[in-house]
Structure 1
């Protein structure tokens, strides 16, 4: 697994977003570049949690799947982030979201909806306070594996 490099301010941005969305899950995109064997985050791009009744239709046997337990990113938000990134020679290299009152470990729904090329950072939020931040990516068999998070100084990030 490739490590993911990001700054304290990136983590603070995700934690703040997660806490402000509580008790619902937050979500957003991670823009950056893959350099050698490291995924380098340059920007955290918060989005609205667009989980809806339409998304729920894909999981009819799980009534607990609401904005408190799931997230979705609107296609137009993805497109806007892609255009923003392209103008800065950045790519979407990951997605972040929060787990409310649960550990920062991917759920089966997270795995089923994940894309192999992305990193998935999960922020655990309990009673409105962020506790843990962990990164994951899919292996060749479609299972999540933990990714090393490397903290770097903001000045080391090439914008």
Structure 2
């Protein structure tokens, strides 16, 4: 059911239009002082790619320090993605006034018992300080663990037009 047909973890960074990543950043900044979260979906291949940012409500009981998707909302995202022939390529969330690192809690949620739930998906964490994106990282499952690399926010920082 879950759309993981194509795309994979490299697709987000190598091919996503900057405006898609800017939409993600704007959502995470707007969620501050709570953690924001969502997914990025992709359909098509090559120049016909279509990208969609899906902000999701954070249903964690402690939204200042954690995020969670409501199971029924996540199921609907997956069903819609399948119907539209989209692949989940990124799960994203913010850390409030904390570093953009894939934390031990993030790892536990993404790979319970050391088995990744979405092995072909990038996990992007954006540090939001004072309501503004300060830094970001991307983690992917590789060689039996999550490997994390920093992302340059300048690569996809766009100010809102007036």
Assess same fold via TM > 0.5. Answer: yes
Q: Where on the TM-score scale, by shorter chain, does this alignment land: which range?
A: 0.7 to 0.9
Deviations 1:75-127 (A, max 9, x none): 11111111221222102222100011122211110111113232101111111
Seen in structure 2, the aligned counterparts of structure 1 residues 133 and 34 have a Cα distance that, compared at 3 Å, is: farther
| 2:60 equivalent to 1:51 | yes
Secondary structure of the 1:18 match is helix
Counterpart residue number, 2:88 = 92
Secondary structure of the 2:138 match is strand
Task: Considering fraction of residues, name the structure with more strand.
Answer: 1
RMSD: 2.6
Deviation of residue 134 (structure 1)? 2.6
| 2:26 equivalent to 1:16 | yes
Q: Relative contact order (C-alpha < 8 Å, sep 6+): which is higher?
A: 1
Stretches of structure 1 lacking an aligned partner (at least 5 in a row): 53-65, 153-159
| Equivalent runs, 1:69-84 vs 2, <5 Å | 69-84=65-80
Of residues 106, 117, 120, the one that matches 1:117 is: 120
**Regions of 4+ moved over 3 Å:** 33-36
Secondary structure of the 2:69 match is coil
Seen in structure 2, the aligned counterparts of structure 1 residues 120 and 8 have a Cα distance that, compared at 3 Å, is: same
Task: State the alpha-carbon separation in 1 of the partners of residues 124 and 39 from structure 2.
Answer: 10
Residues 3 and 147 in structure 1, CA contact (< 8 A), matched pair in contact too: no
Secondary structure of the 2:145 match is coil
Seen in structure 2, the aligned counterparts of structure 1 residues 144 and 41 have a Cα distance that, compared at 3 Å, is: farther
TM-score, length of structure 2 as denominator length: 0.72
Deviation of residue 69 (structure 1)? 1.0
Counterpart residue number, 1:155 = none
Residues 3 and 148 in structure 1, CA contact (< 8 A), matched pair in contact too: no
How many corresponding residue pairs? Answer: 135
Task: Considering fraction of residues, name the structure with more helix.
Answer: 2
